[in-house]
Chain A
Amino acid sequence: MGGADAPAGGFVQLLTPDGERIDSVTTADGTTYSVDFTDDEYRELYRDLVTVRRLDAEATALQRQGELGIWASLLGQEAAQVGSGRAMRPQDMAFPTYREHGVLYTRGIDPIMPFGLFRGVDQGGWDANEHRFNGYTIVIGSQTLHATGYAMGVTMDGKTGGPDGEAVIAYFGDGATSQGEVNEAFVWAGVFHAPMVFFCQNNQYAISEPLERQTRIPLYRRAAGYGFPGVRIDGNDVLASFAVTRAALDNARNGQGPTLIEAYTYRMGAHTSSDDPTRYRIASEVESWKAKDPISRLRAFLAKQQLGDDAFFDEVDEAAKKLALDLRERVLAMPDPQPVSMFDHVYPNGSPELEAQRAQFAAYHASFEGSDH
């Protein structure tokens, strides 16, 4: 397995950086991965990749203009996110970090959802169950345990063992694999045979710390120690991301337990907008990853196969731009919350102490001349 520029040990790749389609890949355990997309499905994947990159670029611009307090860019990780996200079925449940804007988009969720968090007008605030996509998790790795518990609940509800079953996917990065809680999630998932996929986007850096500070072995190989399969994919190949995630989710929903997928990719930008990657990585490394770009390789494939012409590519760009500008307008229009609302939703059943503080706060604000609170 593994085509152009594979890391030592190889990875599953179905589309090379030059846009060459590899028909199928069979891994050492005998599993064969492939995709069978229609022309339209290839084109829609391309549209997804371009759209999430454009939305991400818009968010980065908004941060630079002071409209967002911070932004965690997905630049370079579009294929890992779009491929795995599109592999989910509607009934599946995702547990993201704070960088999964592309996965969120593929769930059919309004891309404005995370902007409250980054703009500082709320802490996220969406309904995880309604969208089948949980809140962004900032403490590294905590959500892998939530995903595992949720997957245990899927089993307890009898929702595994067939194509209508449910599966769960937990996203995390290479840095998170050092966390105790992620290791506990692996232990639990293995022991309880949880119907889930651990999707690690190895983007090579945990803020400034390189992969060598997290591990001495390829991350996908850790799965063996917990008793379930681990697969490494070319994280910049949307087809491999889709094929392997779909197989792993199907295995989970059919009662075959968890899988760890290591998407070998690269964070092209900073960890967040507060970070300066020129302090810890060299330009030539970034350049070498540019040559593996997930969008240009799919575009090359579409062009070669005559699945897309300039008119199509322009139309996709234009539609993405329109969506991004629409998002910009809506983000700028997001109102600041009423100060007194900070007391809302602390406890489902309320608290007399908190009610007293709220009343005191409101009275204090009302005491100022011209106050509208």
Chain B
Amino acid sequence: MMAETITIGKALNHGLRRSLEHDSKVVIMGEDVGKLGGVFRITDGLQKDFGEDRVIDTPLAEAGIVGTAVGLAIRGYRPVCEIQFDGFVFPAYNQIVAQVAKMFYRSKGKVRLPIVIRIPYGGGIGAVEHHSESPEAYFSHTPGLKVVTCSNPADAYWMIQQAIRSDDPIVFFEPKRRYWEKGEVDLDGDLAGAYPLHEARVVREGTDATLLAYGPMVRTALDAATAAAEDGRNLEVIDLRTLSPVDYEKIYSSVRRTGRAVVVHEAPGNIGLGAELAARITEHCFYSLEAPVLRVTGYDIPYPAARVEEEYLPDLDRVLDAVDRSFGW
């Protein structure tokens, strides 16, 4: 086993490289993905090694990136689209929700669109407007799309490869503020042995309450669990990994044991994934619950200016406060 310690960003780069090597039909397309290697350098070096037909620098128009990917997919290619930032995905929204999500259904299964749409998302990097949003609920609400997000280098490496090999259209959210966090990745491993794409993972076992998080908030939830342990509270942390569909069984079995659940995400709470999770847990685990399912989320405002984003983003203290409220019920 060749385990290396690398960042999430580098793990994605390796995963994309391996996908390009594995299947000549895989193409990467987007604004700045070629010579520059993407604004976050996730595609660094790929055009140099695979050529301009495999790693395509496109004109600057998101609907065009996704819309032409639809045609390429009908032609038999497996396009991986890069949307440069979360807040720039909306010009492509029509193509994603009206075309990518529905073509398989519309054609009664005769037209497959194995497209991956990569979106760096979330805040915490001090960026200007449109560069820090968490639009995952919009896509999770759309039947026909699968929505996934990674939180560590190993998942980043495997999940991007699994997404590209899947015939399901997948929106792949990358936690941009965690791009530089490191972890061990077995770069030579076998994809067949990778953790299943659609499963949530218990990343810390515990007995007293369940923290549900995904993407950039998994680190925050783990830090909160470490801090809570000092107060004698043993928190379980689940990384959802897949936001549509959610792996509910893993969540229910955890909450039935712990009796308490706190959902943590950066996106605004109103009509968000946390609301859905709270409703489902209430419906399925009602007699096991010691307290209502609580949410720690971004506020219901446009993403604020960078100098106050630390107040907007859920942090360790807000998570611990919610855990306290759960225990105070």
B105 neighbours in A (Cβ, 8 Å): 123, 345-346
Contact present for A184 and B67 (CB under 8 Å): yes
A280 at the B interface (CB under 8 A): no
Instruction: Given the known inter-chain contacts A128-B107, A347-B146, please indicate yes or no for A150 contacting B245, CB distance below 8 A.
Output: no
Which partner residue on chain A sits nearest B67 by CB separation? A145
| Chain A positions 87 through 106: 1 when the CB is less than 8 Å from some CB of chain B, otherwise 0 | 00000000100000000000
Contact of A157 among B68, B74, B75, B167 (CB under 8 A): B75
Q: Which residues of A contact B72 (CB under 8 A)?
A: 149-150, 152-153
With contact pairs A181-B63, A346-B144 given, residues A354 and B107 touching in the complex (Cβ less than 8 Å): no
* Residue interface mask B63-81, A partner, CB < 8 A = 1: 1100111111111110100
**Residues from chain A with Cβ under 8 Å of B326 in the complex:** none
Q: State the Cβ distance, A61 to closest chain B Cβ, in Å.
A: 26
Min CB distance B318 to A, Å, is 29
Kindly identify which residue among A95, A125, A187, A354 contacts B110, using a CB–CB cutoff of 8 Å: A125
Complex Cα distance A351/B146, Å?
A: 9
Q: Tally chain A residues at the interface, Cβ within 8 Å.
A: 44
User: B67's contact among A122, A151, A185, A348, by CB below 8 Å, is which?
Assistant: A185
- B220 interface residue, CB < 8 Å from A? no
A128 and B111: CB pair below 8 A? yes
Q: Scoring A residues 176 to 199 as 1 if CB is less than 8 Å from chain B, else 0, what string do you get?
A: 000011001101100100000000
Which residues of B (126-148) have their CB < 8 Å from a CB of A? 143-144, 146
Closest to B109 in A: A345
Interchain CB contact under 8 A, A127 and B111:
yes
* Residue A335 is within 8 A (CB to CB) of chain B in the complex: no
Q: How far is the CA of A283 from the CA of B255 in the complex (A)?
A: 70
B245 in contact with A353 (CB, 8 Å): yes
Question: Is B109 touching A344 in the complex (CB atoms < 8 A)?
Answer: yes
A77: CB under 8 A from chain B? no
User: Which B residue's beta carbon lies closest to that of A128?
Assistant: B111
**C-alpha spacing A176/B273, complex, angstroms:** 36
**A126 on the B face (CB < 8 A):** yes
Residues of A within 8 A of B168 (CB): 347-349
Contact between B58 and A188, CB atoms less than 8 A apart: yes
The answer, among B73, B94, B104, B108, for a CB contact under 8 Å with A347, is B104
**Most B C-beta atoms less than 10 A away, residue of A122, A129, A348, A351:** A348
Say which residue of B74, B98, B102, B107 sits within 8 Å of A126 (CB atoms): B107
| A339-363 CB contacts (< 8 Å) to partner B | 344-349, 351-354
Whole-angstrom distance between the alpha carbons of A130 and B110 in the complex?
9
A146→B74 contact, CB < 8 A: yes
Residues of B close to A188: CB separation below 8 A: 58-59, 64, 68
**What B residues does A187 contact at CB under 8 A?**
59, 61, 64
Q: Is the CB of A127 within 8 A of B110?
A: yes
Whether A135 is near chain B, meaning CB under 8 Å from some CB there, is yes
Write out the residue numbers on chain B whose beta carbons fall within 8 Å of the beta carbon of A354: 143, 245
Chain B residues contacting A347 (CB-CB under 8 Å) are 104, 144, 146, 168
B95 at the binding interface (Cβ < 8 Å): yes
A184 and chain B: residue at smallest CB distance: B64
Given A187-B61, A347-B168; A123-B76 close (CB under 8 Å) = no
B59 touches A152 (CB 8 A): no
Q: Is A28 an interface residue (CB 8 A)?
A: no
A151 contacts which of B71, B102, B245 (Cβ < 8 Å)? B71
A-B CB contact pairs (8 Å), 29 listed: A123-B107, A124-B107, A125-B106, A125-B108, A128-B111, A135-B107, A139-B98, A142-B95, A145-B71, A146-B68, A148-B64, A148-B67, A148-B71, A149-B67, A149-B69, A149-B75, A152-B72, A153-B74, A156-B27, A156-B53, A181-B95, A185-B64, A185-B67, A188-B59, A346-B144, A348-B112, A349-B167, A349-B168, A354-B143
Instruction: Supply 16 further A-B pairs (C-beta < 8 A) apart from A148-B71, A156-B53.
Output: A122-B108, A123-B105, A125-B106, A128-B74, A134-B74, A135-B107, A139-B94, A145-B67, A148-B67, A150-B74, A152-B72, A153-B72, A153-B75, A181-B67, A185-B64, A191-B59
A residues sitting closer than 8 Å to B (CB atoms) are 95, 122-130, 134-135, 139, 142, 144-154, 156-157, 180-181, 184-185, 187-188, 191, 344-349, 351-354
- Residues of B that sit less than 8 Å from A by CB: 27, 53, 58-59, 61, 63-64, 67-77, 79, 91, 94-95, 98-99, 102-112, 114, 143-144, 146, 166-168, 198, 245-246, 248
Closest 10 CB pairs of A and B: A149-B71, A145-B67, A149-B68, A153-B75, A150-B71, A184-B64, A348-B167, A125-B108, A345-B109, A127-B110
